[in-house]
């Protein structure tokens, strides 16, 4: 296989601004980083909540190989058909049996087998099946397939994210967090070779509150009224992480935060 491989993992793509930023700047970012595989969380791509076929197609056409998701993936009409028909779009693997779609996908690219996995947290979120046990099964499946295992853990709690990274330490190449839309500064590779980052951040509008219109978010906080959040517009940032992986050990060599 020759040399290390690089994976670009991008945070939640928020609204039109986030999708357009990927279309305009992702190809150059892939060249600059030398990424062999690109993964992005797309659950907020359509109007800030959920993902529909047009936005999914644009994200894939921009150069993303696998689109992960989370708790908002169910919010647009036709979600079940989309999850069933497009294997490059995955949903959290720890939803109960019978949920549409799949929680992981095996991709062969750049001479490497990649098992891209999606899990969802339970702290301050819906009490679905255990992400830790689901993660164990995914890691075992990756080992059996001789694949590099990458995990997008869509969770609210930093504690839960760090705990999952420790739980899967040495069994997967990377555990990176999504959902909060705020990039953290704790990128690291464990002694056993798992790259971890609590949250990748977002690909979305800069002048915003987690990608949403500032004035509405401020009024929600001040008034404590359940005002509907709307996605912001304008210039967007692209945030995520670049993970360098040894394809022989199928573990990480380095991880660095990405901001474009």
Between 177 and 73, the higher pLDDT residue: 177
- Indicate the pLDDT class of residue 140, thresholds 50, 70 and 90: very high
d(CA 41, CA 89): 9
Query: How does 77-116 read in b/e, with b if 16+ C-beta sit within 10 Å?
Result: eebeebbeebeebbbbbbbeeebebebbbebeeeebbbbb
Kindly report the backbone phi and psi dihedral angles of residue 195, in degrees, each rounded to the nearest multiple of 5, phi listed first. Answer: -80, 135
In this prediction, residue 106 carries a pLDDT of 98
Averaging pLDDT over each range in 204-208, 228-232, 246-250, which range is the top one? 246-250
The structure tokens listed for 170 are: 């040495």
d(CA 208, CA 187): 24
In this prediction, residue 228 carries a pLDDT of 86
In this prediction, residue 131 carries a pLDDT of 97
**Spatial contact of 236 and 220, defined as CB atoms under 8 Å apart:** no
Comparing CA positions, the residue from 91, 34, 22, 32 lying closest to residue 63 is 22
In this prediction, residue 232 carries a pLDDT of 87
pLDDT averaged over the chain?
95
- Indicate the pLDDT class of residue 3, thresholds 50, 70 and 90: very high
Q: What helix, strand, coil percent values describe the chain, rounded to 5?
A: 25, 30, 45
The structure tokens listed for 214 are: 């500032």
Is residue 167 among the annotated active site residues?
A: no
In this prediction, residue 2 carries a pLDDT of 58
The structure tokens listed for 233 are: 């517009």
In this prediction, residue 226 carries a pLDDT of 86
Average pLDDT estimate for 7-24: 97
Catalytic entry in 72, 154, 179, 181: 72
In this prediction, residue 1 carries a pLDDT of 43
- Indicate the pLDDT class of residue 7, thresholds 50, 70 and 90: very high
CA distances from 187 to 105, 183, 195, 229, 244 (A): 25, 10, 7, 30, 12
In this prediction, residue 134 carries a pLDDT of 97
**Spatial contact of 203 and 12, defined as CB atoms under 8 Å apart:** yes
In this prediction, residue 213 carries a pLDDT of 87
- For the chain, report the end-to-end CA distance as a whole number of angstroms: 29
Give the single-character DSSP code of 96: P
In this prediction, residue 209 carries a pLDDT of 81
């Amino acid at each position: 296989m020759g040399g290390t491989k690089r994976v670009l993992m991008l945070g939640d793509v928020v609204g039109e601004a986030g999708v357009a930023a990927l279309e305009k700047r992702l190809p150059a970012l892939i060249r600059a980083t030398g990424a062999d595989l690109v993964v992005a969380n797309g659950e907020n791509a359509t109007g800030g909540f959920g993902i529909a076929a047009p936005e999914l197609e644009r994200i894939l056409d921009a150069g993303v190989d696998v689109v992960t998701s989370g708790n908002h993936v169910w919010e647009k009409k036709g979600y079940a058909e989309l999850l069933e028909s497009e294997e490059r779009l995955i949903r959290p693997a720890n939803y109960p049996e019978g949920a549409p779609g799949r929680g992981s996908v095996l991709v062969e690219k750049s001479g490497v087998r990649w098992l891209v996995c999606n899990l969802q947290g339970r702290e301050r979120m819906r009490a679905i099946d255990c992400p830790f046990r689901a993660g164990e099964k995914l890691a075992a499946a990756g080992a059996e397939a001789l694949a590099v295992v990458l995990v997008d853990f869509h969770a609210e709690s930093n504690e839960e994210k760090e705990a999952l990274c420790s739980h899967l330490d040495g069994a997967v190449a990377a555990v990176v967090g999504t959902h909060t839309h705020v990039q953290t500064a704790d990128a690291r590779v464990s002694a056993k070779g798992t790259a971890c980052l609590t949250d990748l951040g977002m690909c979305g509008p800069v002048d915003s509150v987690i990608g949403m219109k500032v004035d509405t978010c401020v009024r929600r906080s001040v008034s404590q009224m359940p005002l509907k959040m709307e996605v912001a517009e304008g210039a967007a940032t692209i945030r995520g992480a670049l993970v360098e992986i040894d394809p022989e050990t199928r573990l990480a060599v380095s991880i660095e935060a990405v901001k474009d």
